Amino acid sequence: MPPLSSLPVLPWSEISRHNSTESCWLVINGGVYDVTNFGDRHPGGSVIYTWGGRDASDPFRVWHLDAKSQKMLATYAIGRAEPLKLSPAQQAYNADKEALFRTVEESGMYDTDVTFFVSVALAALTLGGLSVVALQVGLPPLAATALSSLLLALFWHQSAWLGHDLMHNSPIKSRVAAHWVGGLFGNAATGISVGWWKLTHNMHHATVNEWDHDPDITHMPVFAMTEAMFLSSRPSWKMDSITWVEEAVFKTLVPFQHIMYFPIMAVARFNLYLQGILMLLLSRVPTM
């Protein structure tokens, strides 16, 4: 492959147009890469398309620390991005961000402490076992049920967060092994599909709190996280494209979301079960 320095300089007006699954260009450390046909093979899934037409240097950096990913970039290089003129405030922000990254890296926070994850796994399994034992030791029925329920809740809590870290490949670097173990603490222990979670959570970390991209905060027409969901013309949730059923739901629920939040959250776990089933049936990831 030719060196990046020999490739043409591409203006941002051209780069920004390639922001869809049909044509997706990413800017990474000044280079422009055409990843249109890579999405189906991308280990992180279609989340790669959320950065189409934008500077993806930061998400690429934090997710692709290995040399293999760096080498693969050259295969997709098509040019160099036109240098941006940064304001003093932007330059200061970038300098602070770089200093923070170096501080975290040098402190060893990116290094895995396997003993920590083993201890958490053992603690979770112990809690699950004790929740069964509590029903068998002769306690009064009410006390036995209350104690067992508490222990089971703690087991689910620890299993969920352990599954979270496993699916982030934190304790186990092998993606296949991490998914198998994560499935035990996710699907088997909590009933929540780690496959569905992985795909939506990757999207969350790539577009944190961007209301029209981040599925973790896209809860219309039940909850509105920002008034921009009503006022913006950004394409993911246009007011002029909703059905009459959706309109009726959000007009009924959103004005009272501060009241409806807790009742809905009380049964929201069952929605997570449903999302896993829908993903399998529809071969796609729902946004709720």
Same-domain status, 20 and 99: yes
Range with the poorest average pLDDT among 131-145, 152-166, 228-242, 245-259: 228-242
Note whether 142 and 75 are same-domain residues.
no
- Please say which residue of 139, 156, 191 terminates a domain: 191
Confidence of residue 237 (pLDDT cuts 50, 70, 90): very low
Predicted confidence (pLDDT) at residue 95 exceeds the cutoff of 60: yes
Could you tell me if 98 and 15 lie in one domain? yes
Domain encompassing residue 260: 201-282
DSSP labels for the chain?
A: ---GGGSPEE-HHHHTT-BSSSSBEEEETTEEEE-TTTTTT-TTGGGGGGGTTEE-HHHHHHH--SHHHHHHHGGGEEEEEPPP---HHHHHHHHHHHHHHHHHHHTTTTS--HHHHHHHHHHHHHHHHHHHHTTTS---HHHHHHHHHHHHHHHHHHHHHHHHHHHTTSS---HHHHHHHHHIIIIIHH---HHHHHHHHHHHHHSTT-TTT-GGG--TTT--S-THHHH---GGG-GGG--HHHHHHHHHHGGGHHHHHHHHHHHHHHHHHHHHHHHHHHTS----
Last residue of a domain, one of 191, 211, 243: 191
Instruction: Give me the residue label for tokens 């160099």.
Output: 80
- Please indicate, yes or no, whether residues 230 and 254 belong to a single structural domain of this protein: yes
**Does residue 154 or residue 186 have the better pLDDT?**
154
Q: Is residue 287 part of a domain?
A: no
Same domain as 228, residue 206:
yes
Domain holding 97: CATH number?
3.10.120.10
Domain count within the chain:
3
pLDDT digits (tens, 9 = 90+) for 138-179: 889 999 999 999 999 999 999 999 988 888 878 887 878 888
Whether residue 288 lies inside any domain: the answer is: no
Band of residue 129 on the pLDDT scale cut at 50, 70, 90: very high
Classify residue 246: in a domain, yes or no. yes
CA–CA separation, 167 and 185 (whole Å): 10
Residue 143 in any domain: the answer is: yes
The most confident of 38-52, 72-86, 127-141, by mean pLDDT: 127-141
User: How far is Cα 146 from Cα 152, in angstroms, rounded to an integer?
Assistant: 10
Domain end, chosen from 78, 106, 134, is at 106
Q: Is the pTM of this model over 0.75?
A: no
Let me know if residue 196 belongs to a domain: no
Query: Is there a domain that residue 258 lies in?
Result: yes
How many C-beta atoms surround the C-beta of residue 49 within 10 A? 21
Are both 131 and 85 inside the same structural domain?
A: no
- Looking at the fold, whether 155 and 98 belong to one and the same domain comes out as no
Q: Does one domain contain both 156 and 220?
A: no
Distance separating alpha carbons of residues 185 and 166, to the nearest angstrom: 9
Residues 211 and 242 placed together within one structural domain of the fold = yes
How many Cβ atoms are within 10 Å of 282's Cβ, its own excluded?
Answer: 9
Q: What is the pLDDT of residue 241?
A: 59
Same domain, 102 and 118: no
Average pLDDT over all residues of the chain:
83
Considering only 28-32, 43-47, 90-94, 115-119, which range has the smallest mean pLDDT? 43-47
Confidence of residue 284 (pLDDT cuts 50, 70, 90): low
